[in-house]
Amino acid sequence: MTKQFIKRVVIVGGGTAGWMTAALLSKALRHDVQIELIESEEIGTVGVGEATIPQIALFNKYLQIDDNDFIAKTNGSLKLGIEFVNWGTQGNRYIHTFGTIGRDLELIDFHHYWLRAREMGMDVSLWDYSVHYRAAISNKFDRLGPTPELAGMGYAYHFDAALYARYLRNIAEKNGVIRTE
């Protein structure tokens, strides 16, 4: 039986998804596979703000994207969670943060201690124990690099999707991706 290897990959459609795929494959497969992306200027991309989760930082790191350059060129900002307005009831606000809440002790998860404290009459919000929540509502956060005190301080971005697609297109084309109109 003869092994046949993929020699060419064609991605139909650009935008954020298409150029993310092209940039990733061009980095992962190097020059072993010819990659072509087909898109139409006539159709264009939707220029919306893209909401992300922390895994996109891993994606950008794999592509060796400099955070500051990326944020500047995509009109980006950092975020510590996703806020849901009118979630459950009218007027209710909820921030799903990207970090841990409280600190586990021994083999017991923090929320068990918090639930026990509530049972005993303490009227304390769970969010009082979230560094991410406190930083988000205070609008006080910056990337400090790896520091033991802030281990696990996950963040994501909010940016212009059309600018991100253009940014990734530049990376992909430098890696040999062929764009066809």
Catalytic one of 7, 73, 79, 174: 79
- Burial group, residue 66, by CB count within 10 angstroms (0-12, 13-18, 19+): exposed
Whether 79 is catalytic is yes
161: left (phi > 0), else alpha (psi -120 to 50), else beta?
alpha
Tokens 């650009």 sit on residue: 14
Beta bridge partners of 94: 84
Residue 60, classed as helix, strand or coil, is: helix
CB 168 within 8 A of CB 22: yes
Tokens representing 126 are 């769970």
Q: Which amino acid is at 68?
A: N
Q: Catalytic residues, which ones?
A: 79
